[in-house]
Amino acid sequence: MLGLLLPLLGFALLDSLNVLNLGVTSAVVYDSRLSRRSALPGGLSFITGVFAATSTFGVLTVLGLTFLTDRVDLEVTPTLRYWGQLVLGVVLIAVASLSGSARPTPPLWALNLTRRNPWLFAIVGLVIGFGQSATSVPYLTSLTMLSAHQASPWPLIVLAYCAVALVPSLVVLGLSTRRTMRARRAQRTIVRATTRYGPTTVRVLFLAVGVVLVAGALVNYRALW
């Protein structure tokens, strides 16, 4: 079980570097300060929406993969395993090669929505959460790993994964309730560090893991045929 949980924790920490979630939460906090109102309703509504979307997607994906595994008699041969390793490595290298200079910004319609009714911001969280779940390589990899361990309490692990991925947003939102300069500096430091170094860190890790996977498959090239 430990051999499963440690990689999942690493993937969850990678997902926690999501600059869009942090950017939306920060925008809610700053907009609330300008309007002299609490950021908790809008921030918690958004985070709850993201959590509901990612956890629902995760549970349904694991159930779907388990259903397919039970219905399809598929033998994982060395050839299939190394080809899968090679394809995954190439995908990770391709993802790491994409330009990370563009920084996602919160959509204007989302900010207008939360100004009118902060609790409706859960809709924004749901839309963003489902979109991220379907495109997040670490999350999809984690769900695939969980589907292969049917004896594990995987629904709880999925919920814990989604919660860990939202820790930075929760910390920024929690710091917004403090009026001290120290809390505001800490909040700005978290946002700037994640925005500046988060995408680069993820790309470097993707590149490193992808190279290792491709190298491992090529070393065993005889098993590919």
- 154-206 pLDDT, tens per residue? 889 999 999 999 998 888 888 877 777 777 777 778 777 777 776 777 778 77
Percentage above 90 pLDDT, the chain:
12
Using alpha carbons, select from 114, 11, 106 the residue that is nearest to residue 58: 11
Question: What digits encode the pLDDT tens for the residues 41-68?
Answer: 888 888 999 999 999 999 999 888 877 7
Give me 37's structure tokens.
């109102």
**Farthest-apart Cα atoms in the chain, separation:** 66
Angle between helices 40-71 and 121-135 (to 10 degrees): 40
Start-to-end C-alpha separation, the chain: 33
Residue 47, CB half-sphere, CA atoms under 13 Å: how many?
Answer: 27
Residue with tokens 């959590």: 51
Measured distance CA(91)–CA(97) in Å, rounded: 10
